[in-house]
Amino acid sequence: MDLSPIISKATVASAGETGSWRNYRPAVTADLCSKCGNCILYCPEGVISEGGDSVEIDYRFCKGCGVCKEVCEQRAIEMIPE
Ligand code: SF4
Ligand code: SF4
């Protein structure tokens, strides 16, 4: 069964600029990050990218949903109050 019409990647930053109303922000501990890419794959806003020692999050568009924290098997991401 072809699911491609049903399953699609979220539009990058579909929620618009969320920095002003986000309650929590994901913080990455670079030392724990294995660069597995799970957070990049599952972020519904598509705002995580490879960068430096770990990953980079574009906080202008991150909505603080916490999906990245949940899918990080290294526990390298924590959600901290804004
Ligand atoms: S899911 Fe966790 S370990 Fe994997 S790239 Fe993201 S922060 Fe790093
Ligand atoms: S909290 Fe994580 S998964 Fe959710 S939008 Fe921000 S970077 Fe993406």
pLDDT digits (tens, 9 = 90+) for 1-31: 555 555 555 566 776 777 678 899 999 999 9
The answer on pLDDT for 57 being more than 60 is yes
What tokens appear for 17 in the block? Answer: 């600029």
* Region 57-73 average pLDDT: 96
Q: In CATH, which of 3.40.50.2000, 3.40.50.720, 1.20.1730.10, 3.30.70.20 is domain 24-81? A: 3.30.70.20
pLDDT of amino acid 12: 67
Task: Report the nearest-CA residue for atom 2 of ligand 1.
Answer: 72
**What is the chain's mean pLDDT, rounded?**
87
Are the C-beta atoms of residues 74 and 31 closer than 8 Å to each other?
Answer: no
For residue 74, the ligand closest to its alpha carbon is: 1
Two tokens, residue 52:
């430096």
Write the residue with the smallest CA distance to atom 2 of ligand 2.
Answer: 68
69 CB-near residues (< 8 Å, 6+ apart):
26, 77, 78, 79
The pLDDT > 70 percentage for the chain reads: 82
What percent of the chain is predicted at pLDDT more than 90?
68
- From its phi and psi, is residue 26 left (phi > 0), alpha (psi between -120 and 50) or beta? beta
For a mutational test of ligand 1's pocket, the pick from 32, 38, 56, i.e. the residue with the most ligand atoms closer than 8 A to its C-beta, is: 38
Distance between CA atoms of residues 63 and 2, nearest Å: 31
